[in-house]
Every structure is written in C-alpha cells, then in structure tokens.
C-alpha cells in the first residue's frame, strides 16, 4: 500500500475531512476545545487528533499536538493510542542534535510538534505510569538509539521504573537524569530530572543533586523540585 493509500485509509478510519484546509480547521477547533473544555474531548476526537498528527501539513500536525498539551490530566484518553503517540514523538528532525534551543523550537513547527507530543506523554506518565507498561521497550529503544530522541522519554522511563523495572535501562536513565540536572533550562529539564530522580529513590544520586542545585532565586520551581528530592532521598540513606 502506498503512502497516499495509507493516508486515505487513515482519514477514512478517523472520519477526517479530505481537504487540507478542512483538516487544519478541525485541528484548530480541537486544540481550542481541548484548551477551553478538556473534559469534553471524547475518545473519538482523541483518535482524530492522532490521525491529524500523521497528515502531511505541518501546521495541522502542530495544532493537533498542541491539543495534547491540555489533555494530560485525562490519562485514560491516551491509553488506546499510547503506542502510536510514542512513535510520533520519538525523533526530532535531522536539524536537531541533542536538546533544541527554545528559539529553534519556536521557529520550527516540526520541532514543536515532537516536543508537544513527548512533553504530553511525560506528563501522563507522572499521573498514570502503568499506562506505559505495554510500550516500555519501545521507549527504551528510542532513548538508547541516539541523540535525536526527546529527553522527555528519559523522564518517562524513570517515572515508569517501578511498574516495569525489567524494561528500564536503569544505569543509563540515572546517568541521563543527572546530566539533565543542569541542562535544558528553557524547557524545565532540571525540575523534571530532580523529580524523576526522587521517584527512582536511589540516594546515590544525592551528590549530583547537591552539586547542581539551582542558585538563581528566580528559579523557584527548580529549587522546590531539588529540595523535595534531596530531602526524600536523604531519608532513604542507609
């Protein structure tokens, strides 16, 4: 089956309009609905959002991805489409090596699409890590694969460790998380990393947390995450 046939089948299954403009309008409408009334999004509309993430028009895709940013408080919406979303958010465009800058993200709808999907998945993992058990191997392979995988997938692996410890490359995840304690400030990675290390519950990372403690008084969110992680992990020292 050709790519065109695949797209036609996708549009039919998800009941998407045939015209690009109509699909873009639908994505914008669903993004607005998700922002204003996230509780009103149905399973059918979630299926449409995932289908819209696959269409050729990048502006349509980024609108669909933006909708996901408002739905992470409803993890059950993600359950039926979790594997598809993991596949859609696992690789940055070839122009990215490592962590994209916020400026690069804002100038590229392709990069924003990947970030919105991956960030949404990490927020879902914070709330219901068990949803990711069926796709843990898929996420682990993406993280190990290379430098174009969003760091949000590292956070997901750390968050689901207690659910599927056998699928999580623990040493790799801890090393990555410790590195992210002082990287990706524009995306809040230090806060994510500190909170995920707290949840992993290994006090051996305390020196890294203390060495990378955010000193900027304006960085209250990060300081709070570090404080909580350090305090909790100290209670688990032998």
What pLDDT, in 10s, does the model give residues 11-46?
667 789 989 999 999 999 999 999 999 999 999 999
Tell me the longest C-alpha to C-alpha distance in the chain.
Answer: 63
Q: Which residues contact 69 (CB under 8 A, 6 or more apart)?
A: 34, 116, 119, 120
**Residue-range domain boundaries for the chain:** 16-134
Indicate the angle between helix axes 20-36 and 43-52, nearest 10 degrees: 130
Q: Where are the beta strands (DSSP E) in the chain?
A: none
CB contact at 8 A, 120 and 71: yes
Q: What is the pLDDT of residues 105-129, one digit of tens each?
A: 999 999 999 999 999 999 999 999 9
Q: What is the pLDDT of residues 79-104, one digit of tens each?
A: 999 999 999 999 999 989 889 999 99
In this predicted structure, what is the pLDDT of residue 10?
Answer: 63
Q: Looking at residues 125-152, what average pLDDT do you find?
A: 95
The overall pTM is greater than 0.75: yes
């Amino acid at each position: 089956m050709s790519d065109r046939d695949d797209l036609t089948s996708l549009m039919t299954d998800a009941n998407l309009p045939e015209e690009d403009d109509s699909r873009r309008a639908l994505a914008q409408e669903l993004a607005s609905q998700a922002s204003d009334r996230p509780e009103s999004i149905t399973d059918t509309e979630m299926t449409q959002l995932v289908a819209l993430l696959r269409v050729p028009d990048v502006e349509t895709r980024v609108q669909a991805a933006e909708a996901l940013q408002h739905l992470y408080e409803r993890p059950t919406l993600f359950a039926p489409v979790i594997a598809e979303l993991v596949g859609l958010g696992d690789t940055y465009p070839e122009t990215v090596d490592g962590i994209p800058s916020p400026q690069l993200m804002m100038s590229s709808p392709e990069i924003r699409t990947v970030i919105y999907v991956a960030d949404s998945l990490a927020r879902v993992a914070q709330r219901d890590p068990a949803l990711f058990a069926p796709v843990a191997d898929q996420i682990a392979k993406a993280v190990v694969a290379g430098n174009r995988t969003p760091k949000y997938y590292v956070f997901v692996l750390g968050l689901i460790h207690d659910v599927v410890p056998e699928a999580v490359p623990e040493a790799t995840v801890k090393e990555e998380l410790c590195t992210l304690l002082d990287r990706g400030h524009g995306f809040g990675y230090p806060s994510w990393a500190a909170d995920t290390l707290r949840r992993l519950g290994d006090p051996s990372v305390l020196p890294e947390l203390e060495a990378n403690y955010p000193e900027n008084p304006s960085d209250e969110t990060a300081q709070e995450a570090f404080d909580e992680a350090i305090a909790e992990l100290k209670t688990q020292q032998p």
